[in-house]
Amino acid sequence: MNDWVHLDTGLVPGGGKSLALMQRGQEFSIVVGTIELMNSTRGTSEEALASLTCARLAGRPAPRVLIGGLGMGFTLRAALRGLGPDARIVVAELVPSVTAWARGPLAPVFDGCLDDRRVELREADVNRLIQSEAGGWDAILLDVDNGPEGLMRRGNDRLYDEWGLKRAEWALKPGGTLAVWSGTPDRKFKARLQRRGFAVEEIRMPASGSSGPRHVIWLATRSETAASNFAAV
């Protein structure tokens, strides 16, 4: 078997740890230290994050979807398959190197999905986009860091704490969905979602097909009638 080759290193803004892009034959991996964050051959749960959410958007006219985290594009590609021609998808990616890799060495993995007219890729902190518009999104999908118990950057915790969930509720349309991917279970995070008033479904599934570590997806639905008094700052 071929050895892994280090292709590039990406620095995380805000003093976070660095990412390494690795290649072995036709397989790619993004790692931090000795921990693999994603692999081009294993994306079942990341695809499910989008496909399960898109099923909930059926019947919504011109849905607007915000994806936090580009990664290797598994969630984006699944969203494109699950949404109609009138949808708009905004992808927020904080790390410049990840966006560069998507159009560079990972271009075969992305297979042109960034050129779909429904897609807008922004090099930005998804937290800022969430704060920018009240009731603007039919769905917000978060695959940032490794989930609520992150590895990369302390600032990512703001997405998953009490205030982060309040911001997400404020940014969602009534009945909208906050979908969150995590590498591990997290009872405290699920409890925070429920305290915020979301109707929560928790799904556990293998990372790839029927094998590999079990990842977690939370589908949290905002009430049709709940009002949020959060003011963006």
Q: Sorting pLDDT into bands at 50, 70 and 90, what band is 145?
A: confident
Q: Which amino acid is at 81?
A: R
Residue 31 phi/psi, 5-degree rounding, is -130, 155
Which of these, 208, 176, 183, lies nearest to 74 by C-alpha position?
Answer: 208
Cβ atoms of residues 65 and 83 within 8 Å? yes
Residue bearing the bigger pLDDT, 47 or 156? 47
Q: Sorting pLDDT into bands at 50, 70 and 90, what band is 154?
A: low
Q: Where are the domains of the chain?
A: 41-221
Which of these, 92, 176, 174, lies nearest to 129 by C-alpha position?
Answer: 92
Residue bearing the bigger pLDDT, 158 or 228? 158
Looking at residue 177, its pLDDT comes to 98
For the segment(s) 41-221, the CATH number from 3.40.50.150, 3.40.50.300, 3.40.50.450, 3.40.630.30 is 3.40.50.150
Q: If you average pLDDT over every residue of the chain, what do you get?
A: 90
Average pLDDT over residues 112-137: 96
pTM over 0.95: no
Phi-psi region of 162 (alpha: psi -120 to 50; beta: other; left: phi over 0): alpha
Helix locations, the chain, DSSP H? 44-56, 74-82, 96-103, 107-110, 126-131, 162-171, 187-195
Residue bearing the bigger pLDDT, 31 or 149? 31
Which of these, 34, 12, 8, 6, lies nearest to 145 by C-alpha position?
Answer: 12
Residue 57 has pLDDT above 50, yes or no: yes
pLDDT tens-digit series, residues 77-105 = 999 999 999 999 999 999 999 999 999 99
Task: Report how far residue 53's alpha carbon sits from residue 75's, in angstroms, rounded to the nearest whole number.
Answer: 10
Looking at residue 155, its pLDDT comes to 60
210: Cβ contacts below 8 Å, ≥ 6 apart? none
